[in-house]
Amino acid sequence: MKRIAIFASGSGSNAENIAKYFANSTETEVSLIVANNPEAYVLKRAEKLGIESLIVRKPEFMAADNLIKELHKRKIDFIVLAGFLLLVPQKLIDAYPGRIVNIHPALLPKHGGKGMYGDRVHEAVVAAGDKESGITIHLIDANYDKGVTYFQAKCPVYPTDTPHDVAQKVHILEYEHFPRVIDEIVKTI
Ligand code: GAR
């Protein structure tokens, strides 16, 4: 059994969707949900799903040693960032080389980088007058949104679309593709 930890900072609708996708798998399970914010709704979702959760605040996350110990203790093989907003420290990348994947709600390299998350990304897409947006699933390295891209999917953006409209289209793509792509990557490790 391959064991996944999902890191999330807020609502966690992707985390829940991924957990449900693997719920009946005999090869892969979501074993742990990590949140950096004790108020994050993802913690309630974890409880309902019966998945263990950990709260790791920013200083502890950045120091990484204790978190790596907790991940090793639970034999975590792979890490998924699903709406997780802290920069991953090099120590954690070194502990899980090629085994940390992130989803970004736009077509990188456009609209990425520090501070570009959630609705801010969709606002930037509309402000730029882009004709399309989408999702990027990429392996992470020490820079925000700069790792090797593994998968992209696109949706149209119409001149009348609001950031909220774009967010909805992007969420549909996330729910459709992210679990499947994780499954594909995890099978190779
Ligand atoms: C998702 O759209 C994800 O792509 C985005 O945050 C949202 C989290 O939603 N991630 C980023 O912006 C990372 N830079 P969720 O908590 O409902 O899964």
* CATH number of residue 89's parent domain: 3.40.50.170
Domain count of the fold of the chain = 1
Residue 66 backbone class (left: φ over 0; alpha: ψ -120 to 50; beta: rest): alpha
- What is the 8-class DSSP label of residue 30? E
Q: Is 104 in the pocket of ligand 1 (CB under 6 A)?
A: yes
Residue 96 lies in a domain: yes
Q: Is 105 in the pocket of ligand 1 (CB under 6 A)?
A: yes
Residue 19 lies in a domain: yes
- What is the 8-class DSSP label of residue 89? P
| pLDDT attached to residue 115 | 85
Residue 162 lies in a domain: no
| pLDDT attached to residue 144 | 61
Higher pLDDT, 98 or 153: 153
Among 117, 143, 146, 173, residue to substitute to test ligand 1 (most atoms within 8 Å of Cβ): 117
Chain segment 79-128, per-residue pLDDT in tens: 999 999 998 999 999 999 989 999 999 999 999 988 898 899 999 999 99
Q: Is 124 in the pocket of ligand 1 (CB under 6 A)?
A: no
Instruction: Output the residue whose Cα is nearest ligand 1's atom 16.
Output: 12
Instruction: Output the residue whose Cα is nearest ligand 1's atom 7.
Output: 83
Q: Is 147 in the pocket of ligand 1 (CB under 6 A)?
A: no
54 contacts 108 by C-beta, under 8 angstroms: no
Strand order in the sheet with 149-156: 52-55, 28-35, 2-8, 78-81, 100-104, 132-139, 149-156
Question: Residue 75 C-alpha to ligand 1 middle, in angstroms?
Answer: 26
Residue 182 lies in a domain: yes
Residue 65 lies in a domain: yes
The tokens for 64 are 């990484």
Closest CA to 40 of 76, 87, 85: 85
Closest CA to 46 of 4, 88, 104, 101: 4
Residue 128 lies in a domain: no
Residue 158 lies in a domain: no
Atom nearest to 8 CA in ligand 1: 16
- What is the 8-class DSSP label of residue 87? P
Domain span at 66: 2-119+136-152+178-186
pTM of the entire predicted model: 0.96
Residue 160 lies in a domain: no
Q: Is 144 in the pocket of ligand 1 (CB under 6 A)?
A: no
